Amino acid sequence: DTGVSQNPRHKITKRGQNVTFRCDPISEHNRLYWYRQTLGQGPEFLTYFQNEAQLEKSRLLSDRFSAERPKGSFSTLEIQRTEQGDSAMYLCASSSNYRAAEAFFGQGTRLTVV
Amino acid sequence: KQEVTQIPAALSVPEGENLVLNCSFTDSAIYNLQWFRQDPGKGLTSLLLIQSSQREQTSGRLNASLDKSSGRSTLYIAASQPGDSATYLCASMDSNYQLIWGAGTKLIIKP
């Protein structure tokens, strides 16, 4: 297993454009998390999936943000009408139901909105 | 609402020194306390996980302690090396397996 994979690693976009990130969790991991990390801060929780069901969303996840995990495997995070304040590292993590406390993180997607 | 604080925000020490990083949390009802390492522009690597019933965990030159009553955890790094330079983050986990993070301590080990 190659671990949690995120693509792209870097994304530069103009303000107002839509962007989509992808996360491939460790195979057979039921739980998938998205976090956002701004410079000099720790990650902040965005949303959580149990298989294909999105069970929790942070209030940080505004209407411009949407996340999906259609088949309970990979997940996508889309940001519509990007703003400069969306510039951050977007981290994905996964864990199994049997060892839910042990989350494995991807290398993240760094978004820069210009 | 849980708040996690890490002090200091940055630390620079000569190679070979032992050092302690501090983490405090406001709500003692934690499931566990975890320490992670983050290298520039990269994701997070788990270092140590201390269950709420435990007092400490050790891995190689790293030792993490947990005192729930005082809301504190420390990460002790023995015989520091330049390769230890990174940002160290602590996070508390609640019973829903959600992590609440500190802002991290940026550690520089000078050769």
- The set of residues, in sequence order, having a beta carbon less than 8 Å from that of A62 and lying 6+ positions away, is none
Could you give the dihedral angle defined by the CA atoms of residues B26, A86, A62 and A55, in that order, rounded to the nearest 10 degrees? Answer: -60
Q: Contact A41/B32, CB-based, under 8 Å?
A: no
Query: What confidence tens digit (pLDDT) does each residue in A32-77 have?
Result: 999 999 998 999 999 999 999 999 999 888 899 999 999 889 999 9
Q: What angle do CA B58, B40, B31 make, to 5 degrees?
A: 40
- What are the chain B neighbours of A6 within 8 Å (beta carbons)? 43
Beta strands in A51-95 (DSSP E): 53-57, 65-68, 75-79, 88-95
- What are the chain A neighbours of B103 within 8 Å (beta carbons)? 40-42
Question: Averaged over A88-111, what is the pLDDT?
Answer: 93
Exposed, middle or buried: residue A33 (CB in 10 Å: 0-12, 13-18, 19+)?
buried
Query: What confidence tens digit (pLDDT) does each residue in B55-83 have?
Result: 999 999 999 999 999 999 999 999 999 99
Query: What confidence tens digit (pLDDT) does each residue in B27-47 have?
Result: 999 999 999 999 987 789 999
Would you place residue A99 in the very low, low, confident or very high pLDDT band (cuts 50, 70, 90)? confident
Would you place residue B95 in the very low, low, confident or very high pLDDT band (cuts 50, 70, 90)? confident
pLDDT in the model for residue A1: 53
Question: Beta strand pairing status for A104-105 and A88-95?
Answer: antiparallel
Q: Contact B49/A101, CB-based, under 8 Å?
A: yes
pLDDT in the model for residue A114: 97
- What are the chain A neighbours of B43 within 8 Å (beta carbons)? 4, 6, 91, 105-108
Q: What is the mean pLDDT of chain B?
A: 95
CA distances to A15, A32, A45, A108, B31 from A50, in Å: 32, 7, 15, 20, 19
Q: Contact B43/A106, CB-based, under 8 Å?
A: yes
B101/A contact by beta carbon, under 8 A: yes
Would you place residue A28 in the very low, low, confident or very high pLDDT band (cuts 50, 70, 90)? confident
pLDDT in the model for residue A3: 92
Q: What is the sign, positive or negative, of the torsion defined by CA atoms of A59, B23, B31, A91?
A: positive
pLDDT in the model for residue B7: 92
